[in-house]
A and B are shown apart, each in its own frame.
Chain A
Amino acid sequence: AQSVTQPDIHITVSEGASLELRCNYSYGATPYLFWYVQSPGQGLQLLLKYFSGDTLVQGIKGFEAEFKRSQSSFNLRKPSVHWSDAAEYFCAVGAGNYQLIWGAGTKLIIKP
């Protein structure tokens, strides 16, 4: 069965520091991969997605993610975080049908 794992429930990063949020998936074929962000009091918003092609994907708000087939990973990165990046981040996998399988989320806390 398809699954998505986000190993870190919480991550604390200092403002201005770099960020990497981990996402691992289990799926036999090449999946469709997504990162969504849920900011306090706001709805979920798509950051970026990967379907095919270049394995390094650029998204909104300065985020990027890299698909690594050999590691079954799709980690989200940002070179320098801002206080406004504090939110919960969800990785999701589209596994050949119309459903997305979601990770449990990683809550990002920004230290001033």
Chain B
Amino acid sequence: GAGVSQSPSNKVTEKGKDVELRCDPISGHTALYWYRQSLGQGLEFLIYFQGNSAPDKSGLPSDRFSAERTGGSVSTLTIQRTQQEDSAVYLCASSRNGFQETQYFGPGTRLLVL
């Protein structure tokens, strides 16, 4: 079946602009994660959605970052007033239910802020 998809695959933007990154999880997966991967770094947790529960936003680095998940499926990560330090690969993953389950990752969105 289809895996996790993300769009766009690459995004170049100017400092101060807003960007939206999209994630389509595997159908039926209730858990959805957003991570950020900077060059030479491990994955940094950003936000977690589980079913209809309130998301855990504890990993979001600033209030310029927000995310929503509509209908328990597609998720959008929004970065407002982008800064150069936001440049990274943004990864989305989904799992059937929680971290004990295998997380399936999308290919990522590579964001470059000029």
Docked-complex contact B99 and A43, CB < 8 angstroms = no
Q: Total number of A-B contacts with CB less than 8 angstroms? A: 55
- Residues 6-63 of A contacting B (Cβ, < 8 Å): 9, 32, 36, 41-46, 49, 51
Most chain B CB inside 10 Å of its own CB: which residue of A44, A49, A94, A102: A44
SS class, residues of chain B in contact with chain A: loop
CB within 8 Å for A44 and B100 given contacts A98-B50, A103-B42: no
Docked-complex contact A43 and B102, CB < 8 angstroms = no
Docked-complex contact B43 and A102, CB < 8 angstroms = yes
> Which residues of A have CB within 8 Å of B4?
43
Using C-beta atoms within 8 Å of the partner chain, give the interface range for chain B: 20 to 34
Q: Which 6 A-B pairs have the closest CB atoms?
A: A102-B42, A44-B105, A43-B105, A102-B43, A104-B42, A94-B99
| Least CB distance, B114 to chain A, in whole angstroms | 24
CB within 8 Å for A32 and B42 given contacts A43-B3, A99-B48: no
Alpha-carbon distance A41/B105, docked complex (angstroms):
12
Docked-complex contact B105 and A49, CB < 8 angstroms = no
Residue from the list B42, B91, B98, B103 in contact with A46, Cβ < 8 A: B103
